[in-house]
Structure 1
Amino acid sequence: MTTDEAVGQRIDAALDVPSGSPARMDTPRPGDPRLARLSLNQKTVDGWSLREAVDGCVAAGLPAIGTWREPVAEVGVETAARWIRDAGLRVSSVCRGGFFTGAGDLSRSERHDDNRRALDEAATLGAPCLVLVPGGLPAGDRDLRAARDRAAAAVEALVPHALEVGVRLAIEPMHPIFAADRGVVSTLAQALDIAEPLPAEAVGVVVDTFHVWWEPGVEDQIARAGGRIASYQVCEWITPLPPDALLSRGMMGDGHIDFAHLTSLVTAAGYTGDVEVEIFNADVWAAPGRDVVETLARRYVELVEPHL
């Protein structure tokens, strides 16, 4: 059997998840230079513990992981940092801080203190940034502008601590379908309006393909962001949307987003950091974690990496 035939058999044997369609290419192996900037956001393999996610990254040859505070807290931040360090991985981001607008159970002062703790955790993990979800509207509140102003003030109040611990605050604009319950900052333009008056080393933005692919003028806004791009996250916009819109992120290539275009824009803006795959999807979560990681690695090297 020739090498080409052997590779063909491996491709034929692999199925992408969650679609079940045959893989369009062979799975990149550990050491493949195309994986050098690929990070597994922990939420993509929601059924895995932190230990399993770290081991899964190593087995697949992924050099980075995006951690979430809750599974890190289950083992303790010092233990988590040691596991990740000993595995030879880097942390691309910590999810998540924010929720500044007054919605939820915590008071604004309690939320401020919690975000300070999140910055400390990110520093211990060696993460370059803490992803901030702005927060939604409190019950009965209809004033989006005022809520956005509260989020801006809360980010500004965290700047001294961010500078002290050396972790960047990364504001994540969220698609408008989440404006009421999660993200009153709906566009990259709005996120940059909040970030730009503040020190660039302390405050940046997240470019998440799921949230910004639709935005009018996104080309100009990514160029405007330039060095303020603190994180680039990729996943797909799929239709029809599931009943829970939060779980509507799909595997790259299964939906409508032009990853070549957006990735080229982020690259032209000067971003050289890790690229996180972050997927919230019940069918992805139900699939074996190894299959998920192999699928996302294939889709990444096909659709994203050539444009970095």
Structure 2
Amino acid sequence: MPPAVPFAVPYAVNATSMPHSTVWDDIENVAATGTRGLGLWERKLAGVSDPEVAHRMRAAGISATFCVPAVNCVLPSQIDPPGAPQDILARRDLICASIERLAAFTPEVVTIAPGASGDPDNPAGPLDAVLEVLPAIADTAAACGVRIGLELLARRRGSAVPSMHELVDVVDTVGRDNVGIMFSVFHSWSEPGLQEDLRRYASRINSVQVCDIRDPERCAFDRELPGKGRGVAPEIMATLIEAGYRGWWELEIFSDDGTYGTVLPDSYWAMPPKRFLLQAREAFDRTHAAALDILANREGRRTRRP
């Protein structure tokens, strides 16, 4: 049976968390674990019928949440698929075509990112190139009735736009109402002043991806389930709820099994997907409950003040 969690908690899983399963497997496995949201990954839609995917999702009661284009970084990235173009305008055109395709699934957002180099000493750039093409991407999305979640990537991963206030500046420069911020626990947990930034900019966040942080991280693709490892997710979620976030909480786990060059002995990617999803759901449930406890304790401290 699915875990006993209130249906009102909008929990989803991104398909990038199960890189070796098909979209058909994802729909079946996500539904079997009582999850009601799936972030589609366009790379899994190669050679399949989009109307049939949409039909099966509706039949299973699953909404499309944070959908990922095949090429989702404006700047060239270490996670690009083989053969991805390096030219910025060519990448813009691919992203726009992906948005037009993914719009058929009525996603909560289509998620794109400025880009990250993987090296904090040599961050991705130039930012001017990102600013040049984002308006056309946003306008394509608006024409399709789609919102963009512009992902805040980590400074420690060589992000082109490493802080919340800098990403807000980018969004403001683009000047399109359908562009908001995708916040990732993984990418921002260690940023100075994070709690204050979440309170200040919560209204700009339209999507949140959750996981937790290994201690130590053994490679660049070594995420932990929410509430485990460093256990930073509950407090971050509590602050987002307190600041007014009411959208989907979408799990995204990268856990290298050799796909990116490191064979982690306890890789979640190497597990049977349904077992992984059950563990993930249970971890999220505990983390969400812990976040609510943190909120209650904060409220209790406030009411006890003279």
TM over 0.5: yes
* Distance in 2 separating the partners of 1:56 and 1:137: 33
1:137 is displaced (CA, Å) by: 5.4
Partner of 2:151: 172
Q: Is the 8 A contact 1:248 1:280 kept in 2?
A: yes
Amino acid at match of 1:117: A
What are the equivalent positions in structure 2 for 1:292-307 lying under 5 Å apart? 292-305=276-289, 307=291
1:287 is displaced (CA, Å) by: 1.0
* Alignment deviations for residues 202-247 of structure 1 (CA, whole Å, 9 cap, x no partner): 11111110001111111222223233212111111112322x41x1
Amino acid at match of 1:90: S
* Alignment deviations for residues 62-100 of structure 1 (CA, whole Å, 9 cap, x no partner): 111111110023414333222212221101111145422
Structure 1 residues 302 and 30, CA gap change in structure 2 (3 angstroms):
closer
What are the equivalent positions in structure 2 for 1:73-92 lying under 5 Å apart? 73-92=46-65
* Distance in 2 separating the partners of 1:111 and 1:305: 41
Q: SS state of the match for residue 196, structure 1?
A: helix
Q: SS state of the match for residue 67, structure 2?
A: strand
Amino acid at match of 1:115: I
1:176 is displaced (CA, Å) by: 2.1
Partner of 2:134: 155
Amino acid at match of 1:251: L
Picking from 257, 272, 275, the partner of 2:246 is 272
* Distance in 1 separating the partners of 2:123 and 2:8: 44
1:46 is displaced (CA, Å) by: 2.1
* Distance in 2 separating the partners of 1:116 and 1:37: 28
TM-score by length of 2: 0.81
* Distance in 2 separating the partners of 1:143 and 1:188: 16
Matched, 1:241 2:225: no
Partner of 1:107: 87
1:31 is displaced (CA, Å) by: 6.6
Partner of 2:108: 128
Amino acid at match of 2:145: G
Q: SS state of the match for residue 54, structure 2?
A: helix
Amino acid at match of 1:237: I
1:131 is displaced (CA, Å) by: 1.0
Higher relative contact order (CA 8 A, sep 6+): 1
Q: SS state of the match for residue 126, structure 2?
A: helix
Q: Is the 8 A contact 1:36 1:63 kept in 2?
A: no
What is the percent sequence identity of the aligned residues? 22
* Alignment deviations for residues 137-195 of structure 1 (CA, whole Å, 9 cap, x no partner): 59xx9675x5123223322232221211111121112112321xxx3222222221111
Gaps of 5+ in 2: 78-83, 257-266, 293-306
Structure 1 residues 305 and 92, CA gap change in structure 2 (3 angstroms):
farther
1:274 is displaced (CA, Å) by: 1.1
Q: Is the 8 A contact 1:209 1:257 kept in 2?
A: no
Q: Is the 8 A contact 1:238 1:248 kept in 2?
A: yes
Q: SS state of the match for residue 46, structure 2?
A: helix
Partner of 1:10: none
Matched, 1:189 2:165: yes
Amino acid at match of 2:96: R
* Distance in 2 separating the partners of 1:248 and 1:31: 28
Name which of structure 1's ranges 291-300 and 214-223 shifts more when overlaid on structure 2: 214-223
Structure 1 residues 224 and 196, CA gap change in structure 2 (3 angstroms):
farther
* Alignment deviations for residues 98-153 of structure 1 (CA, whole Å, 9 cap, x no partner): 42235663422211111111211221111021111222459xx9675x51232233
What are the equivalent positions in structure 2 for 1:41-60 lying under 5 Å apart? 41-60=14-33
Amino acid at match of 1:194: V
* Distance in 2 separating the partners of 1:257 and 1:188: 21
* Distance in 1 separating the partners of 2:149 and 2:274: 29
Gaps of 5+ in 1: 1-27
Q: Is the 8 A contact 1:40 1:66 kept in 2?
A: yes
TM-score by length of 1: 0.80
Q: Is the 8 A contact 1:173 1:190 kept in 2?
A: no
Amino acid at match of 1:221: D
Structure 1 residues 76 and 189, CA gap change in structure 2 (3 angstroms):
farther
Amino acid at match of 2:193: G
What are the equivalent positions in structure 2 for 1:211-290 lying under 5 Å apart? 211-242=187-218, 244-245=219-220, 247-282=221-256, 283-290=267-274
1:35 is displaced (CA, Å) by: 7.0
Partner of 1:204: 180
* Distance in 2 separating the partners of 1:62 and 1:223: 28
